[in-house]
Amino acid sequence: MSALAPIRHGGNLLAAARRYGRPVAEWLDLSTGINPDGYPVPPLPAEVWQRLPQDDDALADIAARAYGGAHALPVAGSQAAIRTLPRLLRPGRVGIAALGYSEYAPAFALAGHTVVPLDEADFARVDLADDLDHLVVVNPNNPTARLLPAQTLRHWHRQVARRHGTLVVDEAFMDALAAPSLVADAAAPGLVVLRSLGKFYGLAGVRCGFVFAAPDLLAALGDQLGHWTVSGPARAVAQHALADTDWQHATRARLAAAGQRLAMLLREHGLSPVSQPLFSWIPDARAPALHAALAQQGVWTRLFDAAGGCPASLRLGLPPDDEPCWRRLDRALADATSSLAP
């Protein structure tokens, strides 16, 4: 993998509409892992639109309490931190999954680091971090759904911290799970944990996330990003969403059921998914053909090239909580898979 390989993301529905000649409104977009039935944003007071964002409001404290961390820095989505953090870390060898979120490798390479692409099998190695200065782990991984136990991550953190390196753990999809988070450990030197409102809360458009790390690193990151990195409306929405524990509990249960339903539906059509609540990943050499066949029926998915020791693959996010959408996906899968060679 080239460290400066093209960056690709799901959600590119306009490009799909142009390519296949189908209006945007006629697509079932499953190309992201974003909750399709996200947090119901309440009406916002006029002042959040009219005033400059208040960086010293309660948002950082609310986020720290909600996620169980000691210190939080609100940022304009995880993306702002991903692009800036590498410049604050000592240049060195950084391990990054070859099949994973595509923003990390270019950001570290541009900051002068040597990117070491990691295969999926590498994440089963206890000694993975032994010859690395820094390590990036998306947990659970996007798209492979790999979920690592906290004790493994803590071991790797100790290994890199001994050399004054850093473990970056991206927990963008963790909200939907009951698995242990590393946020509570993030005040320790050499550990950075990222969270986001985009996936579980379905609020990707507000561009709001949080960085948990030692106070000195958060201060340096805040200085680099400057004032008003998160808009006033985004800050207001985030405060509502993070405080709404009833919605969080109900949504976690609903997403778990929907994720299981999606995985079962894919298996019924002869596919072998690896699943998390918000998406299913299908490693299969026939993925390009399946992606194209579904697109012909107006179902947009995310196609991944072979990488990281894995074949080409397809990722499907959840349909909306709407029976006609599920039936449409069922019919599209039946038609698409019937045309595939065994």
Q: How many Cα neighbours within 13 Å face the side chain of 286?
A: 13
Residue type, 67: Y
Q: 224 and 261 share a domain?
A: no
Closest by Cα among 150, 137, 215 to 181: 150
In the prediction, which pLDDT does 26 show? 96
Q: 239 and 251 share a domain?
A: no
Q: 183 and 329 share a domain?
A: no
Cα(42)–Cα(238) distance, rounded to whole angstroms? 11
| Percent residues over pLDDT 70 in the chain | 98
Which residue is associated with the tokens 């699943």?
A: 275
Q: Which domain holds residue 312?
A: 13-39+246-338
The answer to whether residue 254 scores a pLDDT higher than 70 is: yes
pTM over 0.75: yes
| pLDDT, tens only, 101-154 | 999 999 999 999 999 999 999 999 999 999 999 999 999 999 999 999 999 999
69: CB partners within 8 A, 6+ apart:
63, 183, 184, 186, 187, 193, 212
Q: Three-state SS across the chain?
A: CCCCCCCCCCCCHHHHHHHHCCCHHHCEECCCCCCCCCCCCCCCCCHHHHCCCCCCCCHHHHHHHHHCCCCCEEECHHHHHHHHHHHHCCCCEEEEECCCCCCHHHHHHHCCCEEEEECHHHHHCCCHHHHCCEEEEECCCCCCCCCCCHHHHHHHHHHHHHCCCEEEEECCCHHHCCCCCCHHHCCCCCEEEEEECCCCCCCHHHCCEEEECCHHHHHHHHHHHCCCCCCHHHHHHHHHHHHCHHHHHHHHHHHHHHHHHHHHHHHHCCCCCEEECCEEEEECCCHHHHHHHHHHCCEECEEECCECCECCEEEEECCCCCHHHHHHHHHHHHHHHHCCCC
| pLDDT, tens only, 60-87 | 999 999 999 999 999 999 999 999 999 9
CA torsion through residues 173, 229, 61, 134, sign:
positive
Q: 122 and 169 share a domain?
A: yes
| pLDDT, tens only, 151-190 | 999 999 999 999 999 999 999 999 999 889 999 999 999 9
What rounded mean pLDDT belongs to the chain?
Answer: 95
In the prediction, which pLDDT does 178 show? 84
In the prediction, which pLDDT does 94 show? 98
Asked whether residue 238 is assigned to any structural domain, the reply reads yes
Mean pLDDT of 230-242: 97
Cα(29)–Cα(267) distance, rounded to whole angstroms? 20
In the prediction, which pLDDT does 1 show? 39
Which residue is associated with the tokens 């539906």?
A: 265
| pLDDT, tens only, 27-68 | 999 999 999 999 999 999 999 999 999 998 999 999 999 999
Give the pLDDT band (50/70/90) at residue 8.
Answer: confident
| Percent residues over pLDDT 90 in the chain | 94
Q: 78 and 223 share a domain?
A: yes
Q: 240 and 319 share a domain?
A: no
Total domain count for the chain?
A: 2
| pLDDT, tens only, 291-313 | 999 999 999 999 999 999 999 99
The answer to whether residue 217 scores a pLDDT higher than 90 is: yes
Last residue of a domain, one of 215, 244, 273: 244
Q: 261 and 333 share a domain?
A: yes
Last residue of a domain, one of 189, 213, 244: 244
CATH code at 81? 3.40.640.10
| pLDDT, tens only, 195-212 | 999 999 999 999 999 999
Q: 117 and 237 share a domain?
A: yes
Cα(319)–Cα(301) distance, rounded to whole angstroms? 11
In the prediction, which pLDDT does 99 show? 96
In the prediction, which pLDDT does 7 show? 66
